Every structure is written in C-alpha cells, then in structure tokens.
Amino acid sequence: MIEGILVEGLIYGILALGVFITFRILDFPDLTVDGSFPLGAAVMVKCLLTGIPLWISFIIVFICGGIAGSITAIIHNKLKVPSLLASILTMLMLYSINMRILKAPFVSLNKISTLLTKFSTLITPVTTDRAVSYLLIFILIVTVLIIILNNFFHTDLGLALGALGDNEQMIISQGMNPEHLKIIGLALSNGLVAIAGSFIAQYQKFSDINMGIGVVIIGLASVMIGELVVKSNKIIFLLSRVILGAIIYRGILFLSRPLLIYPTDHKLFTGILIIIILAVTALKKKGSSNG
Amino acid sequence: MVKLKNINKIFNINTINENHVLKNINLEVNKGDFITIIGSNGAGKSTLFNAISGNQPLTSGEIFLNSNNITFVKEHLRSKYIGRIFQNPLLGTAGKMTLEDNMIITRSKGFKKLKISLNNKIRNEFKEKLKILDMDLENRLKDNVGQFSGGQRQALTLLMMVLSNPELVLLDEHTAALDPRNAQKVLDLTAKFIDEYSLTAMMITHNMEHAIKYGNRLLMMDKGEIILDISGQEKSNLTVEELIQKFHDIRSENFINDETLLS
C-alpha cells in the first residue's frame, strides 16, 4: 500500500513535474515525454550495467532527456510545426534509439546496486522495511527537486519562461528570443522526465522498451487532479500540488483495482478519469462565470 | 532617427489575392517627433508598424534606425530599441503572473539571467513608479495582472515600456479597446510620458480630434500611401473640418485619376 500509492506517486510525481512545465508553464503540449521517460530508464540501466558511478549516471540521464526535449523544440522552432507534431516525431524516433541503447526489449537490473539498494543498506540501522526506506529517499528527492524548481521559477529566467507560456508577444517585446526559451523549457522538462524514468527502472529493477506508452497522460492526469485540489498563484504550491495530484492518482488507481480486470484496463480507466476531471473543471468554470 | 526608404509590402504576391498594402513609402522620423497617424481601415497603418517593429518582413525597401540598417534585424532584437503597444491590452502583460513578476520581466530588455532580482528594494522601486499611474496599483504587487481592468493593464504596459528607455515608441490604437474614461486616462499618461521623457513616438488613432490635439506632426494614410504629412504651426492650427476637407480633396483627386485611367 505504501509502495503502491506513496512511493510510486512520488516517482510519477517527478514525471508530472516535467509534464506540468510544458503543458502549464510553457503552454507547449509536449508528447516527447512518452519517449524521454523510457529513454531515462534505458540510459540508467545501460550506465549501471556498464559500471558508471551513480551520480554521473544521473547527470547523463538528465542530459539525454534534455537533448530529447531540445530536439522537439528545435523541430517546432525551425520548421514552424505545431508542438504536438514536433513532439510525436521525437517520440517516434526515440523508440528506435531506446532499443539501440538497451539492445533488447527488456533488460533486468537484478542484483545490480542502484541508488535505492544503496540507500536501503545505508539506513538498515533505522529501518529494515524496504517500503519505508524507499518512501524516505523519495520524499527527500522530491523535496529537493521542488526547492530547486521553486527557486528556478523565481529567477528572472524562470519568470520569463512563465511569461512565454502566458503571452509570447510580451517576450518578443522584451527583446528575448522565444525560440531559445522554448529549448530551455523543454530540455528542463524532459530532463526531469528522464530522471523519473531512471527511478522507475531502479524501482522495478528493469527497463522495458514499452514502459513509456501513455505516461504523458499519467502526468497530465496528476497535474489536473492537483489543480482540482489546490488553488493558488504561488509557484511553490503549483509545484507541490502536482506531486499531491500524482499521489492521489496512484491512490485512485489502487482503490479501483477490483474494477480493473485486465492489467491493461488502467489506460481506459485513466482516460475516463481525465474526461471526468475535464468535465468537472468545465462545470466549475461555467458555475463561476454565472455568478 | 528612423528612416524608411521605398518600403513596399505586398501580401499574397503573384496570386489572385495579391494585396499591395504599403506602396513605396518614404518617411523620416526626427528625434523627438510625436507623430499621430490617421487613415481608414486597410490604409496600411498597422502594416507600417509591423514593418518598423520587424513583425513582418518587407517585400522591398530599407529601414534605418540611427543610420543603422535594421531591415533584416529580427523583431525581438529590434524591440530592445523600439517599444510597441497594441490595441489589445492583454498583449503587453502576462495575466497569469503577479504584477511584481511582470515588472521584473520588463525591467530590463534582452535575455534573462539565472538569478533572483526581486527583493524588497526592487519592490519599493516598483511601488514608486506605480504611484505615477495613480491607479492604486502600488498596493497590488502580489495580485495577478489578469485581475486588473483593461485600462490598468494598458497603463501598466505603457509605464513599463517607457521605463525601458525606448528610442522609438509605436502606439497602435492603444486606447481603442478601452472605455472612454480609461481611454482618456491612458492617453493623458501617454502624452505626459512622451513629454517628460522626450520620447520619439508614432501613434495610430481613429479619433481625428486626438490626432490633431496630440503630437507635433500628423500623417494621413490611404490605400498604402502617406497622403498627408503636416507638422509645426500648420498642424496646431488644424481643425477636424479642415482635415476632412483635405481628405476629400485628395480622395476625389485620386478618384478622378482613377476615372481618367479607366476611360
């Protein structure tokens, strides 16, 4: 239960933070996520199997995700293609690249030491419960990430990214090139998504070529649930509610398990869930505009 | 200051919908000029601004700013020297962000750095500047700009633009979307700022009284050409009736020309 809801919620929360940056802050619907998530997993598995030190592996994962995001931004900028098409192209190409990295559709991390196994051994004096130790490390990681992102979005550059999603003409009028800002934003978002993918690989102890299918929707569902629960215009709350949304989403999925007979049912369920959230949001808007 | 040389802009060139919007325009804007521009719909006023600001490429011709050729300079680079305010008050500010965040972004032009500039000292600076507007915005730094009225947003855009020290100001019917009271307020602020900061400005308006009342020079555009350029004493003595008369004189002359061509 702790693992199913809280730990997975926190890991997918990192993914949802990436989705939040593109969909909400930049107003750039980005499907690259479906490719950069398994890319992060594949790169991490490859690094660990090669024996590259953990901290360097994380940097490599982030950079790889960042490059994937940048490619989407460059396709969009230079060819004037809509964001969805540009990101679908990158996503498609990443499938082949992920396969080339892994050299197999499924690669196991069994008996390989990861950040999670290391942390578990480290805190054995405190707790021997695997679930608790996972929970602790992900609370730590997510908190640090939120603090970093919160500071980033308070910098002049971070504020400019926010303004870009709100009003692109304003950015141009202020002498900034929106193309550069889009590259920065997408690189950051997909870097985070790749990090989330690398954590899932370490958590599940394997990387699967198909693990990315539909994750952008999981991220989006988390973002939207968060928006239903918490209202604010402060970036720290906007970031935190994404994590909260991801945990609630896992909770809903967990509780609805009796309904989901086939293991693939959760995609139908997620789709219906998003439709319900959209309907609720639309109704709320209607209500508030009527009075 | 700003020099336009044989500017042409043709939309849908070589198609059945070809539209020659700017026809061989030559214009020299002097430093300190406050030019008002009038003309009917489709006269090419906004296209002229788009050409100067770099929003749309020219079909032919050259643009100079302080004797630098800026014809091929991109819009976001030109906007470091050219400030522009649109008719739509929503285009100048980011509605989903707070007032102080908006002001941080417009505080300096060009690429933003990875540092946090907002602090209490800067907030006090902002408050001082906002007091000039006399709209009680100085007490609403933490409110989202989306909650402000169109007039407040346009006044804010104007203030932030003026503070960025532009060499040339382009005002594209910036009061047309506001209610009369706010429109007058924004217009008064505009005139005040242009005077106080000795700005060079061009203002498109649909209101002939405003075109006569404000500025030192008046341009009338029609069908892609500047058909009238009045300045100095002649402009200050101008009345709306005279302006309409002048317009009719030139228009009917054109009309006769067209007729003679056709016959």
A235: domain CATH number is 1.10.3470
A285 belongs to a structural domain: no
Of B139, B78, B136, B142, the closest CA to residue B104 belongs to: B142
B residues 170-229 closer than 8 Å to A (CB): none
A268 belongs to a structural domain: no
CA gap B45, B42 in Å, rounded: 8
Tell me if A167 and B104 make a contact (CB, 8 A cut-off).
no
Q: Cα separations (Å) of B32 from B5, B80, B199? A: 20, 18, 6
Question: Is residue B77 less than 8 Å (CB to CB) from chain A?
Answer: yes
CATH annotation of B2-94+164-262: 3.40.50.300
Nearest by CB to A159, from B80, B101, B164: name it.
B101
B residues 105-124 closer than 8 Å to A (CB): 105-106, 109-118
Nearest by CB to A175, from B80, B104, B117: name it.
B80
ipTM (interface predicted TM): 0.87
Residue A91 tokens, joined: 């996503």
Nearest by CB to A175, from B79, B115, B117: name it.
B79
A279 belongs to a structural domain: no
Backbone phi, psi, residue B168, to 5°: -135, 140
Tell me if A166 and B92 make a contact (CB, 8 A cut-off).
no
Residue listed under structure tokens 């609805």: A256
Residues of chain A with C-beta less than 8 angstroms from the C-beta of B104: 156, 159
A286 belongs to a structural domain: no
Backbone phi, psi, residue B220, to 5°: -115, 130
- Domains in chain A, number: 1
Question: Is residue A151 less than 8 Å (CB to CB) from chain B?
Answer: yes
Tell me if B75 and A166 make a contact (CB, 8 A cut-off).
no
Burial class (CB in 10 A: 0-12, 13-18, 19+), B20: middle
A275 belongs to a structural domain: no
Contacts of residue A99, Cβ cutoff 8 Å, sequence gap at least 6: A105, A209
A151 belongs to a structural domain: yes
For residue B94, the distance in angstroms to the closest alpha carbon of chain A comes to 6
Specify the DSSP element, H or E, that contains B226: strand B225-231
Domain boundaries, chain B: 2-94+164-262
Specify the DSSP element, H or E, that contains B60: strand B60-65
Query: Domain of A217?
Result: 2-255
Give the angle subtended at the CA of A189 by the CAs of A183 and A194, to the nearest 5°: 120
* Contact predicate B82/B63, CB 8 Å: no
3-state secondary structure of B197: coil
Tell me if A156 and B144 make a contact (CB, 8 A cut-off).
no
Taking the CA atoms of residue B69, residue B72, residue B78 and residue B82 in that order, the dihedral angle to the nearest 10 degrees is 60
pLDDT tens digits for chain A (291 residues)? 777 899 999 999 999 999 999 999 999 999 999 999 999 999 999 999 999 999 999 999 999 999 999 999 999 999 999 999 999 999 999 999 999 999 999 999 988 899 999 998 898 888 888 889 999 999 999 999 999 999 999 999 999 999 999 999 999 999 999 999 999 999 999 999 999 999 999 999 999 999 999 999 999 999 999 999 998 888 999 999 999 999 999 999 888 888 888 888 888 988 999 899 889 988 888 776 654
